[in-house]
Amino acid sequence: MARYRGPKLRITRRLGSLPGLTQKQSKKTNRPGKPGQGEKNNITANKKMTEYGLRLEEKQKLKFNYGLTESQLYRYMKEARRRKGITGLILLQLLEMRLDSICFALGFSPTMAHARQLVNHGHITVNGKVVNIPSFQCRLNDIIGVKQKQSSLSLVEKNVKVAKFVDLPNHLEFDQSKLEAKVINYCDRDDILLDLDELLVIEYYSRR
């Protein structure tokens, strides 16, 4: 299944705030539904959600926030299960160690989609070498930087200046003057900007 490329605010109205998808906010407050249903749509939206529906929505939050396909997310889930430790936290750490996720966390890009594009176009380096794979898994002590080209530097500098997320995650050490960051640890649960119950995601995939 391909990545979602439709209206972003429609997704945030249904799932809540998704920092990686968009920082815009919809003026509408009701959940999206079929047009023209009026009251009927509001009544349906207020119905009690099933347990499966709750798990599905939490899974969808991860998918849309990190800009993943269904198969990509499932592969991360299988890898998280394989490793020792708390599966939910490991899953989030795997997603946060993606190169596009780190670029987003550093303020290099306003959204995950833009971060993915930034990496794809060869603007980002890892340990001094250009890496154009957004899903590249960064490791401890990796140095994330910007290609020493004027167009790359000016683009990232502009985004960093207007970045809305002021607090840098504890697992990253950032030198803004050099536009260079070092991965010093795996992320803590408190560093995740997304409002998510990862246990429901684990339950969603428990039968697969």
Tell me whether residue 3 is in a domain.
no
Cβ contacts of 156 within 8 Å, gap of 6 or more? 108, 118, 123, 146, 179
Residues 117 and 77 in one domain: no
Residues 82 and 143 in one domain: no
Residues 87 and 111 in one domain: no
What does the pLDDT look like over 14-68, one tens digit per residue? 888 888 887 776 667 666 665 544 444 444 445 678 999 999 999 999 999 999 9
Confidence (pLDDT) at 109: 92
Residues 12 and 69 in one domain: yes
What does the pLDDT look like over 93-127, one tens digit per residue? 999 999 999 999 999 999 999 999 999 999 999 99
Question: CATH number for the domain including 168?
Answer: 3.10.290.10
Tell me whether residue 46 is in a domain.
yes
What does the pLDDT look like over 136-152, one tens digit per residue? 999 999 999 999 999 99
Confidence (pLDDT) at 33: 63
* Domain of residue 64, residue span: 8-93+195-205
3-state SS of 78-92 is HHHHHCCCCHHHHHH
Tell me whether residue 154 is in a domain.
yes
Residues 106 and 81 in one domain: no
Residues 89 and 128 in one domain: no
